[in-house]
Amino acid sequence: MRAWGLSVVLLMVVLAVAEGRILFQDDFEGETIGAEPSKWMVVDDPPGDPPGEIAEDPEDSRNKVLLASLRGDRNGRVYVVGEADWADLVVQFDWYLAVEGVQHGTVFRYQDRNNHYLIDRRSPAAGDAMDFWRRQNGGWTNVGRAPMTVPPQVWYTTMLILRGDTFIAKMKERDDPTSFKELDPILEAQDGAFASGVLWHLRR
Ligand SMILES: [Ca+2]
């Protein structure tokens, strides 16, 4: 077993809000362990940066997951899915923190490193919360925060509902059978800086 100081993504599904049509889906099962994810594009590739890779699920060796770049933070290699005109979406993904102290985030309406939105889970040392951020011209603005304790070594499922300038996050343990329709949002935010853009997962 490799050292898991990180978060991983098991499954991501993206739906267009207006039509309920699936735009993208990946469970990584068709991929090769150690390879980069074939359905994802690299939009930023700093020299010498290690790639992300397909890895075994730390809880189930029969399952494959995406392990982000070892520099999966904002200074590392950026894997994205989607198109520049992706705007109103429902994004659902499973994620897992192998150890305490790491953070996990999803970037949406990505323009470039210095212009995008980020929803992330902050470690206890960084506030033990879920945050919505706007990064614009290289500066950060917090546009929403909710306290949130996420023990490591548990699979979670997050749903993001992005509609116009309104962003909603719902979350539950992956194995909780409650439907998302029955769950109240854990975080809502409004911001109108970026109307569309691709999606990106990161951890650090
Ligand atoms: Ca999988």
Domains in the chain, start-ordered, CATH in brackets?
7-203 (2.60.120.560)
Backbone dihedral angles phi then psi of residue 125, each to the nearest 5 degrees:
-65, -25
CA 168 to ligand 1 centroid distance, Å: 25
Asked whether 31 and 38 are in contact (CB, 8 A), the reply is yes
pLDDT score at 145: 96
Asked whether 158 and 150 are in contact (CB, 8 A), the reply is no
CA 106 to ligand 1 centroid distance, Å: 18
Structural element, H or E, at residue 25: strand 22-26
Integer CA distances (angstroms), 18 to 158, 162, 193, 197, in order: 20, 11, 21, 16
pLDDT score at 48: 67
CA 140 to ligand 1 centroid distance, Å: 33
pLDDT score at 5: 37
What are the 10-residue block averages of pLDDT along the chain, 204 residues in total?
44 72 88 92 74 86 81 65 91 86 84 90 87 95 94 90 95 95 96 93 66
pLDDT score at 69: 65
pLDDT score at 10: 58
CA 8 to ligand 1 centroid distance, Å: 10
CA 20 to ligand 1 centroid distance, Å: 23
CA 88 to ligand 1 centroid distance, Å: 25
CA 35 to ligand 1 centroid distance, Å: 14
Residues with CB under 5 A from ligand 1 (ion): 27-28, 63-64
CA 138 to ligand 1 centroid distance, Å: 34
Which sign, positive or negative, has the C-alpha torsion 104, 84, 191, 115? positive
Asked whether 110 and 197 are in contact (CB, 8 A), the reply is yes
Distance separating alpha carbons of residues 91 and 82, to the nearest angstrom: 11
Unique residue bearing structure tokens 């940066």: 49
CA 114 to ligand 1 centroid distance, Å: 31
Unique residue bearing structure tokens 């889970």: 121
CA 118 to ligand 1 centroid distance, Å: 24
pLDDT score at 76: 63
